[in-house]
């Protein structure tokens, strides 16, 4: 699996790339951005929020995953 450092790096890159898309939609001419508005609202903005929360709470999410993972192994 991925190390916590790799996960954080990937999340940071994804968060910055998606944030750049949102920023570009604010500064580009409206004629260029109009077709992309639905995609930004439905997919990009929620992903920016989720990646930001994952970066913020990465340690807590990792502990939760560790706690849930042994329960899955016992159930199988």
Closest CA to 4 of 44, 52, 62, 70: 62
One digit per residue, the tens of pLDDT, for the chain of length 76 reads 788 899 999 999 999 999 999 999 989 898 888 888 898 889 999 999 999 999 999 999 999 988 888 765 555 5
Under 8 Å between Cβ of 51 and 14 = yes
Give dist(CA 54, CA 59) in Å, integer: 9
In the block, residue with structure tokens 């940071």: 12
8: containing domain: 4-75
Residue 26: how many other CB atoms lie within 10 Å:
8
Please tell me the predicted confidence (pLDDT) of residue 66. Answer: 87
Structural domains in the chain (count): 1
Please give the structure tokens belonging to residue 35.
């077709």
Instruction: Look at residue 72 in the predicted model and tell me its pLDDT.
Output: 59
């Amino acid at each position: 699996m991925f190390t916590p450092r790799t996960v954080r790096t990937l999340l940071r890159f994804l968060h910055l790339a998606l944030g750049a898309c949102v920023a570009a939609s604010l500064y580009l001419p409206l004629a260029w951005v109009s077709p992309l508005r639905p995609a930004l609202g439905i997919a990009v903005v929620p992903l920016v929020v989720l990646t930001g929360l994952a970066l913020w709470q990465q340690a807590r999410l990792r502990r939760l995953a560790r706690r849930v993972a042994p329960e899955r192994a016992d159930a199988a």
